[in-house]
Every structure is written in structure tokens, then in C-alpha cells.
Structure 1
Amino acid sequence: WQFARMIDIARAKGHAEFASMQNYYNLVYREEEREMMPFCANDGIAVIPWSPMARGYLAGTGLGEKASTVRGRTDPFSVTLGLGSRQDEAIRKRVVETAEKLGTKPAVVALAWVLSKPTVTSPIIGASKPHHLADAVAATELKLDARTIAKLEEPYQSKAIAGHV
């Protein structure tokens, strides 16, 4: 409602309107599908999700002491976002299994899922290593079929709003 209100104010005052929305959106956080994504599609507003791989979580790294990366072991914002629930783990495991089945990396599958959404214009990718760019390119080339998408999405259940205040 806050975004819609800002658009209404801009229109009423003759100001430039928003051209895009940067929202938190990925396989383990899909609350934006309820209202924000349809609103943006209806109003022709670009959707540019941040953290399409849930801070690396969907890349297969995990969280906490057993995580395979320093970020996964130490990132306090992952806790703020509520990552790592049983539901999230079920989804992450499906991403890893799908990647193995398709002969690619979990990061590629997670990003390909985001790119499969018609309302997504382009995700924000925090590439910190050269191979991250290669993964992003591979994700643009991977077309997930409807059955695979449904299997990845199936464990998801609504959760508390996260990613903004």
C-alpha cells in the first residue's frame, strides 16, 4: 500500500512516477506475488528483485555452522530475513536436486526460476567472483519447464513480511 500511495501522490502532484520496484523475491520468499508483482504488472512498472538467490542460501551454501561459505556462517542479515526454516531447507534441497538432475549449479537453477517469472524485468545479481557472471549467463539460457517450476515451488507456504520496514 505504501508504494501505491507514493505513486498516487506523484500523479496528483504531476511528479515523475516510479519506473521500477526493487523487491526482495526468490524461491524462499515469494510474498511479493500476492500484491506487489500484480500491481507492478498492471501499472507497467519494472520489477528488479534483489537477492534472487536468498543471499547465497539457494546457491546451495546453507546457513549456520555447517554452511560452506563464510557468508553462510556469519551473515546476520540472513537471520533478519528469517532464512533457514524447515520450509526453506525443503526448497533449497529441491534446488540442489534439480541442479544435479540438469547438470548445472544450484545458483543457476535459483536464478533461472526468478527469470521464469513474467513480471520480473531483471534481477539484481551481486557478483563478487568472475564465475558468478558465468552462472548468471547460464541462468538466462536455462528454461525451466512448468513441471520443474511446480516442484521447486511446491513446499512454499506464506511467511511473515521481510526485506523492508
Structure 2
Amino acid sequence: LCYQEGVAVIPWSPLARGRLTRPWGETTARLVSDEVGKNLYKESDENDAQIAERLTGVSEELGATRAQVALAWLLSKPGIAAPIIGTSREEQLDELLNAVDITLKPEQIAELETPYKPHAVVGFK
């Protein structure tokens, strides 16, 4: 809809709060302690794990990081203006900027998108 109306989209948290940057079963202090974050993905955890698994496969195929491939996928979508990314180290930013040089093949995009199911809206009510 936004693209059809000429409205750019600025995605927030395109790396799913870091969940797409590391092996799926790996946890962090933030993942364990952030109550809001826990609820964001609680209902879709099993489905998201499938996507993360495919993301790992495509990133290995390309010799890129998971984060780079996730951003490359996002940037392949029409109407995306500027994803809002967060980093804690300068080298992470350098890594993410390299995503603009990755072009995914249609079959790689399909591989990443096939298991996707839209997330329910969660948060403040």
C-alpha cells in the first residue's frame, strides 16, 4: 500500500533486536531480561526459527553474515527508504553497511520468504 501511494517505509528493528544476527538458540542478557522483547516474538518463535535457519543457509552460500543478508533482503523490497538499525560497536556498523553491495537472487529471496507468517501486533494497548 505505501509503495503504491508513493510513501517510503522506514523499518524499525530489521534485525529483530539482534535475533537475526546470531545462531537461533544462542541467548543474550537482553533477550532474557527484556520483558517487552520477550513478548514481541513469543507467538512466532517456532516460525521465526525456520526463517533464521534459512537465513543462515543463504548467508553461508553468499559468504556474508546473517545481518548483511537480512538487510540485503529488506533493501530488495520496493519502497524501503532507510532501515533503522542499532549497533553497539563500530565494526558492526561497517559490517551492516556492506549489505548494500549484496544482491539476492530471486530463489534466495523465495527461500527466505516461504516460511514467513505475519506477526500479530503486540506491545502497548
Classify the TM-score, shorter chain. Answer: 0.7 to 0.9
Deviation at 1:98, TM superposition (A): 1.2
**Which of 39, 44, 63 matches 1:80?**
39
**Which of 105, 121, 124 matches 2:84?**
124
1:25-64 paired onto structure 2 within 5 Å: 38=1, 40-62=2-24
Question: Which residue in 1 is equivalent to 2:95?
Answer: 135
Q: Which runs of 5+ in 1 are unaligned?
A: 1-37
Higher relative contact order (CA 8 A, sep 6+): 2
Contact 1:56–1:72 under 8 Å retained in 2: no
Q: Which has the larger radius of gyration?
A: 1
Q: Summarize the Cα distance change of 1:163–1:141 in structure 2 as closer, same or farther, 3 Å threshold.
A: farther
Question: Which residue in 1 is equivalent to 2:63?
Answer: 103
TM-score normalised by length of structure 1: 0.67
Q: Which runs of 5+ in 2 are unaligned?
A: none
Contact 2:7–2:79 under 8 Å retained in 1: no
Deviation at 1:61, TM superposition (A): 4.6
Q: Summarize the Cα distance change of 1:97–1:134 in structure 2 as closer, same or farther, 3 Å threshold.
A: same
Aligned partners of 1:151 and 1:134: how far apart in 2?
26
TM-score normalised by length of structure 2: 0.86
| Runs of 4+ residues deviating >4 angstroms | none
Q: Percent identity?
A: 40
Which one-letter code corresponds to 1:53 in the other structure?
Answer: L
RMSD over equivalenced CA pairs, Å:
2.0
How many equivalent pairs are there? 124
